[in-house]
Structures are given as C-alpha cells and as structure tokens.
Amino acid sequence: MRKAFVFLMVLQFGFGFAQAQFDLANVEKFQKELNAEYADAKTSPLLPEDLKVFKSLDFYPANEKFFVVAKFIRTENELPFEMKTSTDRKPVYVKYGEAHFTIDGQSFKLNIYRNIELSKKEQYKDYLFLPFSDLTCGNESYIGGKYIDMKIPQGDTIVIDFNTSYNPYCAYSPKYSCPKVPLENDLKIEIRAGVKKFHE
C-alpha cells in the first residue's frame, strides 16, 4: 500500500496549479525532492541492494510540450468502483472528472480519479489521482504506466505537467500494491517526460 508521505511529498512540490505556463524550476524541484526521498532509507521504495548504489532516478529532459492546460469536465453522479491493483487489494475510487487536451495537434482525454478513503482525511481532501500509460511504456518507461498527483481545480481548466509523472512503487519492489492504469487512460502517443523505467 502506498505510504502517506508520498502523497504529501508530491502535493507540496507546488506544481503551479493556478499557473498556466511551464516553469522549469518546478520540474527541477520535483526531480531533486523525489531523488532525496528515494535516497533516504526511511522513505525509499528501493530494495536494500538498489538503495546502496542509488544516485539518481533517470528522468526525461524537461519538455514544455508535455505541460498542458487541459479543459476540465467535472463528471457528476459517478459510481465508486474497485480499482484493480498489482495484488488482491482493491481500493475504492471514483471518477472525478475528465481532462481534454491536445499535444502535437492530436486530441486526448484522460480520466482523473479520487480515492474515497483518502479524501476523508483533511490533508488529502483536495487530492486527485491521474494514472496513465503511453507508447513509451515497456520501452523507455515503466511497463505499468506512471502516476501524476493533482489537486481539485477551482475552474474549468486543469494543469497536467507530465514532466512531474513518476513510477508506481511496484517499479522498484514487488512488495508494494499499486493501482493499475485503467485502459481508458492509455494514450496513443509517446509521452517522453517524467521518470523513466528503473535501470538496475
């Protein structure tokens, strides 16, 4: 099960949800702080043998193309469902909304979810979960897709910075239980941004 510090860590990065422009400093801060968490034995998902030699995660170069301001459509009256994971655990999520955006002239849609139990906690009440996969998965990036942590937007747009996408803990150790990316969030494009697959 994912640890609470991960959610706190990512939410405090300040991805610039109220901003509509790419900020390289945010990406660099994301990378630096993620590396720090993974290098710390108290917070790292790495296996002991990997932690001993860990220096840095492998990131794609920051790319403004993969910072998008999407049209956000709140989906009302969605029924909660059990999201499949890499184990028998089935956490309950609800589809909270849809993000519609374009990259290189192509139109895409991603569903954004909310963890029911997590949303009951005060510090996570605005937390949203965006799992996705793309054409790099299984090659340059983790075969199981990647995650982006988000916050509930105040208006009808939402910023998606794929440069701040990260791997599920299952990419580093089999002891974790990770939500599987829903089929509807598989993008038919190479999203060459965020964390690459882990090279042992």
- Which residues fall within 8 angstroms of residue 61, CB to CB, at 6 or more apart? none
pLDDT in tens, 164-198: 999 999 999 999 999 999 999 999 999 999 999 99
What is the C-alpha to C-alpha distance for residues 58 and 160, in angstroms, rounded to an integer?
20
State how far the alpha carbon of 141 is from the alpha carbons of 22, 24, 43, 58, 149, in Å.
22, 21, 22, 10, 18
Q: 151, 146, 158, 149: which is closest to 194 by C-alpha?
A: 146
Q: What is the pLDDT of residue 192?
A: 98
Structural tokens at position 130: 């965006």
Q: What is the pLDDT of residue 167?
A: 98
pLDDT in tens, 97-120: 999 999 999 999 999 999 999 999
Between the two ends of the chain, the Cα-to-Cα distance in Å is: 23
What does the pLDDT average to over 135-164?
97
The domain locations on the chain are 4-185
Least confident piece of the model among 4-18, 63-77, 87-101, 142-156: 4-18
- The pTM for the full model equals 0.88
What is the C-alpha to C-alpha distance for residues 186 and 77, in angstroms, rounded to an integer?
24
Residue 81, pLDDT > 50, answer yes
pLDDT band, residue 67 (cuts 50/70/90): very high
Give the three-state DSSP class for 30: helix
Residue 78, pLDDT > 90, answer yes
Which residue type is seen at 32? K
Residue 5, pLDDT > 70, answer no
Structural tokens at position 29: 């801060």
Helix or strand (DSSP H, E) at 111: strand 106-115
pLDDT in tens, 150-169: 999 999 999 999 999 999 99
Residue 11, pLDDT > 90, answer no
What is the C-alpha to C-alpha distance for residues 29 and 11, in angstroms, rounded to an integer?
12
What is the C-alpha to C-alpha distance for residues 37 and 43, in angstroms, rounded to an integer?
6
pLDDT band, residue 144 (cuts 50/70/90): very high
Handedness of CA 139, 35, 124, 74 (dihedral sign): negative
What is the C-alpha to C-alpha distance for residues 135 and 74, in angstroms, rounded to an integer?
27
Residue 20, pLDDT > 80, answer no
What does the pLDDT average to over 129-137?
98
Residue 137, pLDDT > 90, answer yes
Residue 19, pLDDT > 70, answer no
8 Å CB contact between 171 and 35: no
**Which value, in Å, is the radius of gyration of the alpha carbons in the chain?**
16
pLDDT band, residue 36 (cuts 50/70/90): very high
